[in-house]
């Protein structure tokens, strides 16, 4: 008979199984008022109740889901929740395990937000290609925010501490309420129309999703995208993301962060300039020393100390050609003398008077031809020798420089054409007895 009795645990497990298997309990959309909420448990699971006028339900929201909330739940707040219903076996109580929660009445705003975001994204409003680069050293920054509150004070304090030379111009703006969107868009347009701002900061402090709604309005988003001036958006807390944040060129988590993004730290930039100056000076000194050493090596080169060595080979060739010419002339003379002796011998052997006379005349004629040929060879040899000597003289760089010519260098490059020069170039001009440095004032090219 005792087998018919269930234990409390068995009954509780059976009821839990019923809940878990019921498809209607797997995903519940519920509205109610928060009760027994403990704000001191921010970094742990949340246990509270949802109630209406006639009933109360235990609720659990694990920390993983709770930290994703974009608002702070409060006691008595009406909310919309999505979750599953099950039984906690230890107490036998049924409760809702919440997966998502949002303030009641804001659900329509979330839907409108997602629809606007999707539509504007399809137009390319949020494309990274539209983002403009922030200037490194702005001179004038426009601030579009409320003239009262901590936002403007934080921005002014941060900017003046980091980069005191910048000018800040405040455009007092409504940042909450029905007229806020028009005020924000109008001041962006006003600042843009002035045309002398380097950066614009659009900012407001934290608030509920409804409080931040003006920054989701299409009129504000399009005003930000239409602006030519780079815009930094800092709206709400770090977890809040408005459409203005997505449309802006840069998004900052806080107003202070926006100010830090807008300006550099003056002392750090001055230090960087000094470091660059030292590096530039060292590089210049190193380059100058290298050029001096190169110049010294060039000046010690044999071509400047003994320029005659340039045509020593040509002079030696001329001597060899001269010797060859003399040898040829000597051989020619010996051959002519030998022929003359042979003719004389043949003449003596025949010895007819007429033939002798004729041979004498022939000999005289041959001697004249020989003398003419000899003289012609000598003249040609002298002419060739003179030509070779003159050619060597023309090839001498000192001879060319001595006639008033010069050669021009730009650094280590020898200039051969006006295409190698530009106005204001420093050039070195080498003459026969020295050199000087000049600056190019004007360039004229001959038309061919």
What pLDDT, in 10s, does the model give residues 270-300?
898 889 999 999 999 999 999 998 888 887 7
Kindly report the CATH number that applies to the domain delimited by 126-264. Answer: 3.40.50.261
pLDDT tops 60 at residue 146: yes
The residue-averaged pLDDT of 104-112 equals: 70
Burial of 187 by CB count in 10 Å (0-12 exposed, 13-18 middle, 19+ buried)?
buried
Task: Round to whole Å and give the CA distance between 375 and 4.
Answer: 155
Residue 2 confidence (pLDDT): 63
Burial of 99 by CB count in 10 Å (0-12 exposed, 13-18 middle, 19+ buried)?
middle
Residue-wise pLDDT tens digits, 75-98:
878 888 999 999 988 888 899 999
Residue spans of the domains in the chain: they are 2-104, 126-264, 270-300, 307-399, 407-439
CB atoms < 10 A from the CB of 67, how many? 11
pLDDT tops 90 at residue 229: yes
Q: How many helices (H) and strands (E) does the chain have?
A: 13, 14
CB atoms < 10 A from the CB of 135, how many? 14
Cα first-last separation, the chain = 127
Q: Does domain 2-104 have CATH number 2.40.50.140?
A: yes
Cβ proximity of 99 and 65 under 8 Å = yes
Name the pairing type of β-strands 426-431 and 434-439. antiparallel
Residue 105 confidence (pLDDT): 67
Task: Round to whole Å and give the CA distance between 162 and 421.
Answer: 46
Confidence of residue 351 (pLDDT cuts 50, 70, 90): low
pLDDT tops 80 at residue 392: no
Nearest to 209 by CA among 240, 178, 254: 240
In this chain, the answer to whether the domains covering 2-104 and 126-264 adopt an identical fold is no
Confidence of residue 171 (pLDDT cuts 50, 70, 90): very high
Q: Return phi, psi of residue 269, to 5°.
A: -65, -40
The residue-averaged pLDDT of 343-356 equals: 72
Cβ proximity of 50 and 104 under 8 Å = no
Percent of the chain with pLDDT over 70: 94
Q: Return phi, psi of residue 308, to 5°.
A: -65, -15
pLDDT tops 60 at residue 448: no
Cβ proximity of 245 and 225 under 8 Å = no
Nearest to 318 by CA among 400, 398, 396, 399: 396
CB atoms < 10 A from the CB of 32, how many? 20
Alpha helices in 67-179 (DSSP H): 107-122, 150-162
Rg of the chain, C-alpha, whole Å: 52
Q: Return phi, psi of residue 325, to 5°.
A: -60, -45
Burial of 30 by CB count in 10 Å (0-12 exposed, 13-18 middle, 19+ buried)?
middle
């Amino acid at each position: 008979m005792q087998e018919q009795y269930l234990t409390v645990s068995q009954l509780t497990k059976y009821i839990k199984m019923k809940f878990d298997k019921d498809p209607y309990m797997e995903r519940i959309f519920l509205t109610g008022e928060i009760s027994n909420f403990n704000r001191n448990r921010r970094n742990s699971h949340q246990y509270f109740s949802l109630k209406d006028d006639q009933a109360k339900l235990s609720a659990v929201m694990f920390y993983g889901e709770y930290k994703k909330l974009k608002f702070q739940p409060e006691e008595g707040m009406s909310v919309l929740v999505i979750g599953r219903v099950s039984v906690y076996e230890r107490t036998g109580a049924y409760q809702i395990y919440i997966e998502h929660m949002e303030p009641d009445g804001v659900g329509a705003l979330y839907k409108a937000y997602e629809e606007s975001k999707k539509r504007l994204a399809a137009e390319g409003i949020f494309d990274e290609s539209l983002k403009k680069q922030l200037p490194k050293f702005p001179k004038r920054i426009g601030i579009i925010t409320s003239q009262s509150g901590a936002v403007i004070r934080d921005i002014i304090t941060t900017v003046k501490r980091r980069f005191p030379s910048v000018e800040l111009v405040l455009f007092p703006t409504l940042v909450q309420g029905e007229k806020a969107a028009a005020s924000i868009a109008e001041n962006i347009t006003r600042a843009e129309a002035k045309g002398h701002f380097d950066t614009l900061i659009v900012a407001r402090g934290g608030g509920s999703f409804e409080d931040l709604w003006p920054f989701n309005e299409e009129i504000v988003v399009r005003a930000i995208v239409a602006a030519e001036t780079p815009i930094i958006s800092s709206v709400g807390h770090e977890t809040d993301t408005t459409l203005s944040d997505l449309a802006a060129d840069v998004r900052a988590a806080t107003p202070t962060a926006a100010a830090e993004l807008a300006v550099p730290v003056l002392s750090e930039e001055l230090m960087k300039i000094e470091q660059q100056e030292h590096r530039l000076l060292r590089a210049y000194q190193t380059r100058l020393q290298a050029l001096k050493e190169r110049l010294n090596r060039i000046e010690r080169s044999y071509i400047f100390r003994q320029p005659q060595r340039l045509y020593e080979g040509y002079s030696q060739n001329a001597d060899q050609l001269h010797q060859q010419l003399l040898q040829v002339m000597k051989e020619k003379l010996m051959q002519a003398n030998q022929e003359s002796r042979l003719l004389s011998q043949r003449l003596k052997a025949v010895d007819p008077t007429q033939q002798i006379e004729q041979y004498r005349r022939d000999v005289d004629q041959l001697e004249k031809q020989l003398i003419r040929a000899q003289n012609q060879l000598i003249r040609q040899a002298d002419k060739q020798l003179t030509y070779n000597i003159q050619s060597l003289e023309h090839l001498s760089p000192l001879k060319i420089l001595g006639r008033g010519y010069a050669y021009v260098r730009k650094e280590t490059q020898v200039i051969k054409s006006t295409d190698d020069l530009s106005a204001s170039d420093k050039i070195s001009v080498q003459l026969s007895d020295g050199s000087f440095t000049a600056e190019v004032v004007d360039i004229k090219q001959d038309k061919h």
